[in-house]
Amino acid sequence: MQMSSHKNAFKLLGCCLEFPLLALVHENAAKGVLRDDGSLSGANGGQSLLPWKTRLRIAKQLANALTYLHTTFSRPIFHRNLRSTCILLDDDYVPKLSNFSFSISAQSHVKGDNKIRASGYTDPDYLATGCFMKKTDVYSFGVLLLVLLTQRAAYSNQAGGLDITANPKFHVSDGQTQIQTIVDPTFVMPYQLICRV
């Protein structure tokens, strides 16, 4: 509820008690949910790629939303479930962060609650210590950026498949990430990504 005033939060408009189960009424997210690889569902269940500029704007607005959660209230709110499938897009491709079912408010960290299932988005530090902090959300946000940049899912369902953060292309020998080798090729051609490090 606290988050509902932010323009990048998926707004809860009300609830309806007319049905046997409580129905929640949300704003309309006409473009749907971001798929595992950061694309949208296109016509006939196909894939609709988002242009680089749109992805960049989505990333920026999500960063704002996360900063809002972490800094606006006297006790920060941890989202704890940041992943592509928690991001809905409205008609204008404005991202709406949703699924706050694991969110929690705490002074500095949350320890010993085992609600969170490990996935490609989960900070290994959290897995080792069981301690959830702001930076645990920020790690997931970083993985989301990789998903948007590379157009690959954060985790592989195939046997022997690598999580996105384990991809050897991210560990090039001179310590510099070569953006041309990791980025989704469909971006590089039309947009000529320029990377200044």
Ligand X SMILES: *[C@@H]1O[C@H](CO)[C@@H](O)[C@H](O)[C@H]1NC(C)=O
List the one residue from 8, 39, 61, 81 that touches ligand X (CB under 6 A). Answer: 81
List the one residue from 2, 41, 64, 99 that touches ligand X (CB under 6 A). Answer: 99
DSSP state string for 31-87: TEE--TTS-EE-GGG-EEPPPHHHHHHHHHHHHHHHHHHHHSSSS-EE----SGGGE
Total of residues contacting ligand X (CB under 6 A): 3
The token pair at 186 is: 């469909």
List the one residue from 1, 46, 91, 101 that touches ligand X (CB under 6 A). Answer: 101
User: At its nearest, how many Å lie between ligand X and the CB of residue 47?
Assistant: 20
State the Cα–Cα distance between residues 8 and 65, nearest whole angstrom.
6
Cβ distance to ligand X smaller for residue 79 or 152? 79
Cβ distance to ligand X smaller for residue 2 or 103? 103
Is residue 114 close enough to count as binding ligand X by CB under 6 A?
Answer: no
Cβ distance to ligand X smaller for residue 54 or 99? 99
Residues 6+ apart with CB under 8 A from 156: 162, 163
Residues 6+ apart with CB under 8 A from 188: 180
Residues within the interface to ligand X (CB under 6 A): 81, 99, 101
